[in-house]
Amino acid sequence: MPDTGPLDAPLPPADRSRILRDSAGVAVATGLYGVSFGAISVASGLSVLQSCALSLLMFTGASQFALVGVVAGGGSAWSGAASAALLGTRNTLYGLRLAPLLQHRGPRRLLAAHLVIDESTAMAATRESRAAARTGFWATGLGIFALWNLATLVGALAGNALGDPRAYGLDAAVGGAFLALLWPRLDSRGHRLVAVLAAAVALGLVPLTAAGVPVLGAAGVALLVGALSAARRPGRTA
């Protein structure tokens, strides 16, 4: 009998239950935040349908907030899309890590690619077996996807019913929501340094460029640092 290796070990029922419980907690905590996106998206000038389409088709919170933030600031939809794409490049790196671990093929691989976000990656990448990784990935990804889209609809309908968003201060909420997403990730000195550099570049571009360009500049800083870090990492482990 061929040696299948530790990654192919079966998942005990107790471990499966624990992973599902943890995934449910992450899904609820993250998915319900979609209410904020829905309300802020409508306040930024998007329709309820457009807001829901973003959550359904883009499904990556930071990129979604970046897009509506640029639109709210008077930038073009193209600038917003470019900002969202730059922030979404990290999901490509996640995919490179998850592909050999999950080993999905065909339609399931396409669906898995759509569910590659921070939380589903975190719940899969640290598992000791492929079965555990798949369980954590799918339970977290599908749970957040369902709740995020439902919460986006609720938030968009509520925001639409409020009327003029400026009367409630919702027009200034995009920045606050984006910072709320960013804050938990400032867990190391390196991450904080990147955040400061990105903020400095954005502030420097504000008086010189059109709306949306400062966000692109800030995202470019983070992307450049990430690329340089990835390029140096193999040399450190050699």
How far is it, in rounded angstroms, from Cα 114 to Cα 116? 6
Q: Dihedral (C-alpha) 208, 212, 213, 217: value to the nearest 10 degrees?
A: 120
φ, ψ at 162 (rounded to 5°): -70, -20
**Alpha-carbon distances, residue 147 vs 98, 122, 143 (angstroms):** 23, 18, 6
Residue 171 has pLDDT above 70, yes or no: no
- Pick from 2, 65, 13, 17: which is nearest to 39 by CA? 65
**What is the reported pLDDT for 178?**
55
3-state secondary structure of 145: helix
Tokens 């990654």 correspond to: 7
- Pick from 104, 115, 118: which is nearest to 139 by CA? 115
Residue ranges of the domains in the chain? 14-185
Give the pLDDT band (50/70/90) at residue 2. Answer: very low
3-state secondary structure of 65: helix
Please name the residues in contact with 183: beta carbons below 8 A apart, sequence gap of 6 or more.
none
Q: What is the DSSP letter of 166?
A: G
The CA-to-CA distance between both ends of the chain, in Å, stands at 34
Question: Higher-confidence residue: 55 or 237?
Answer: 55
Question: Higher-confidence residue: 2 or 189?
Answer: 189
Tokens 């997403």 correspond to: 181
Q: What is the mean pLDDT of residues 71-92?
A: 80
How far is it, in rounded angstroms, from Cα 89 to Cα 27? 22
Residue 83 has pLDDT above 50, yes or no: yes
**What is the reported pLDDT for 26?**
87
Decide: pTM greater than 0.75.
no
**What is the reported pLDDT for 179?**
61
φ, ψ at 39 (rounded to 5°): -65, -45
How far is it, in rounded angstroms, from Cα 210 to Cα 201? 14
